[in-house]
Amino acid sequence: MNDLISCCGSDCSACYCYGTMCKGCNALCGKVFHAPEGKECPIYHCCRIKNGYQSCGECNMLPCDLILGTRDPKMSEEDFMKNVDERVKRLRS
């Protein structure tokens, strides 16, 4: 998988924060700008640390409550669900 595709299926290179506020989930081992100081993103922690997966695509619970509960407040519910569907497709392909 491309290094700019995070374990949750987000394309880091398409994010408005990539390059300025963030170097990408994989490069930062999940310790991205929106995660609590010194901790991994909760999705990264669940996927990589807790379950040992390379991506959430390996989990049979995808999309889980953790992913569904982490909506960018700048997105409408409809846009968020479209984004989740795209991420799931990316991870399962």
Domain boundaries, the chain: 1-73
Phi-psi region of 9 (alpha: psi -120 to 50; beta: other; left: phi over 0): left
Instruction: Indicate whether 1 pLDDT > 60.
Output: no
| 19-23 mean pLDDT | 90
pTM for this predicted structure: 0.89
Q: Which of 23, 19, 34 is nearest to 73 (CA)?
A: 34
Nearest 10 degrees: CA dihedral of 59, 53, 87, 44? 110
| 10-17 mean pLDDT | 90
pLDDT value at position 29?
95
| Alpha-carbon span 5 to 88, nearest angstrom | 12
Burial bucket for residue 10 (CB in 10 Å: 0-12, 13-18, 19+): buried
